Structure 1
Amino acid sequence: MPRIRIEVDGTTYEDEVEPRLLLVHHLRDRLGKTGTPIGCDTSNCGACTVLMDGLSVKSCAVLAVQADGRAITTVEGLGLDGTHHPMQRAFHEEHALQCGYCTPGMIMASIDLLRENADPAEDEIRAGLEGNLCRCTGYQNIVRAVRRAAAEMRAPAPGQEVTP
């Protein structure tokens, strides 16, 4: 079996994995990162979105062996010293979730969206999150949350450090 070495949420892990093991299953079953939900296993819903070297990927469409030597950030790895990332805070404050199943993937995809466009318009947010599905909210509050987080991340409060 191949041996991989990946950094997940700042911690390095070495493990032997089957070549066909999906990254989402490695994260959840081997590393206990259950904040990354398994939605569809077909890359349609985006619930399992994580950041790989800072870019959003659907972890059900990535083999664990493809993550070898890479840095993975899950929703559990966001924020500093127990504080929430601005995107997590904005999702909470704007009530951008109902059942919450899609929320981790939406948050991670939104962070990547803001990496590419720090001040997106509503239509750009909707287009940027097109690959992430929510069956509960109607997206209006999600769009508001992304705009709120974008504003905060462009101009953080004094003394408040923001990391992508």
Structure 2
Amino acid sequence: MKSEYNAEIHPFLAGAYARAGLIDKDIAKMLGINVATLYRWKLSHCEFCDALKVNKVVIDYHVESALLKRALGYEITETKIIKDKDEKVIKTEITTKQILPDVGACTMWLKNRDKEHWRDNPEKESENSEGTLHLLVESLNNASKANNRN
């Protein structure tokens, strides 16, 4: 039995599933169709294809932004409320903490954004036998250790 495409419902649902981070296989399952039907609909219904593309870009942007934030490090503000035995607020402490860059996020970002310079096994050895990536990882690990001692 061939699945009936509904131009009012299917683009909306597919877009919502894509924005939620689902991949084509899972989107097809949620729509109650097989993957071949999903691909056929993408080819034959522009609004369906556009809904998937646009919403995948939206979620990818959010993930990319979160990865970049982890790669660069960031600052957070924590609020601690101190209460007495009667649950009455005595004071509020506000502290700012620096979240150090994450080595894994740095590595992933650089390997994907600058493949020529940041691949695991470059065809040409750099003059620096340690390699730039190794030095970055070592530097971030040292910073992390120093922060943990404080």
Q: Does the alignment reach a TM-score above 0.5? A: no
TM-score (norm 1): 0.28
Bigger Rg, structure 1 or 2: 2
TM-score (norm 2): 0.30
